[in-house]
Structure 1
C-alpha cells in the first residue's frame, strides 16, 4: 500500500473542490451569505480530512497501538474461544479520520458492508450501520480483529489495504469519518489502557501480547 503523504487525504479532495467551486461562484454572483457558508465548508472539510505525519513510538516487540483517534467508551470481557477482550473507541468529526495499522502483520481478511448511518446510541446501530471488519495476524500468530463502523457520517468507509498484504505498524490503510472502532483481542493480551482514555492513532499504546 502506498502511504498518502499529502496534508489532505485524497478522499477529501472532491468535497474541498466542490466547496471551493461554490465559493468562487457565490463570490462572482455576490451572494454574501452563501459565500460565507461555502468558506466555512472549505475549512470544515480541510479539518476533517487532514492527514498529519506521526512518528510511531518505539515500544517493545509484540506491542499494539491504537488504529484510530478517539475516546475509549467501553472495555468488555468476552466469553469467546478466539477473543477475550473488546474495546470500543468513539471518534468524532474533530478527530483525524486516517486509519493506521495497529501492529506489523499480514491482513488475513477484509469484510466491507454498506449500510445505514444511525446514531451510536440507536439500538440498531451495530446491526444496520456500514462497517468494515479487518483481521490482522502477526508473525507470532497473534490475531486482532478491528471493526470500523460509521455513525452519522457524510462519507463512506475507505479501505486501501488488501487481503494477504504485509503492513507495518503505523502505516495508513484507510479513512473513516465520524465512526466507532471495536478492537477484539485474544487471551494472551495485556491491556495498557482504561475507560475514558483519549487515544491517538499509531501513538497510543493499547497493550502487549504475551508469549503463548
Structure 2
C-alpha cells in the first residue's frame, strides 16, 4: 500500500506516532495509579527507539553504486532462477526487531511496478517464511539496470509501508517502513558485490556493491 503522507526527517517515523502516543498514555495511566510506572515507561522508551528515524548521508556519488536499503544482517548472497527463465544475483538482508525500520532506495531509481502477495506475519527465521510471508515486490528502473526489491514482513510487522512519489527516488532516500522482516535485492549477475555473509549493514550508509560498467556508460 502506498502512503502519501510519508516519513521524511521526523525524529520518530510517522508510522510509529500512534503507537508512541498510546504507549505514553498508558504510562501516564500507570503513573497515576502507581501501577508499575517504571515498566510502562520502559515500554514507551522502547517504542520511541523502535520507530527512530536517524538521518543518513550517502558518501558515494557513483550512479552504479548499490546502497543498503535496510539495517540488518546479510543472510544470503546467491544466484537464483526467476519465473521467466532468467537468472539474477540475490542479496538478502534480514533485520532484527530493534534495527531501524526505515527502508531506503538502493540507488537512484523509479518504481515502475509493485506487486503484493498477501500472506502471514511470521518469524523470518522460519523455513516457510519465503513461501507464506506477506510480501511486496517492487520493479525498480535506474539509468544503468533494472532491479527488483522484495520486501517480506516478519512476525512483528503490522504491514509493509511503501511511500508514493512522482519521479525518481534518490539513492539513500526514504521509500518505506518495515518493522520486522527482510529485504531481498534481485540484481544483474555481473553486479560486483562488496559485502559478505553475516555482515552487519546500515541503510543509506553501507555499500552492497556496484552495477557493472558498460561501454555506453563511459563517456
TM over 0.5, shorter chain: yes
Matched, 1:185 2:158: no
For normalisation by structure 1, the TM-score amounts to: 0.90
Task: Quote how far apart the aligned CAs of 1:3 are.
Answer: 5.3
Query: Quick check: 2:7–2:14 contact (8 Å CA) kept in 1?
Result: no
Deviations 1:103-125 (CA, angstroms, capped at 9, x unpaired): 00111111233421222232321
Can you give the 5+ residue segments of structure 1 that lack an aligned partner in the other structure? none
Match of 1:28 in 2: 32
Give the alignment's TM-score, normalised by structure 2.
0.88
In structure 1, the partner of 2:17 is 13
Q: How much is the aligned-residue C-alpha RMSD, in angstroms? A: 1.8
> 2-side partners of 1:8 and 1:112: how far apart?
27
Paired residues of 2:97 and 2:179 also in contact (CA < 8 A)? yes
1:157 paired with 2:160, answer: yes
Contact 1:83 1:185 in 2 (8 A): no
Match of 1:103?
Answer: 107
Q: Which deviates the most, 110-119 or 49-58?
A: 110-119
Q: What is the alpha-carbon distance in structure 2 between the residues aligned to residue 58 and residue 154 of structure 1?
A: 31
Cα contact 2:67–2:203 (8 A) shared by 1:
yes
1:132 equivalent to 2:133? Answer no
1:117 to 115, 121, 128: 121
Hey, what's the Cα distance between the residues in 1 that align with 2:157 and 2:195? 30
Counterpart position of 1:42: 44
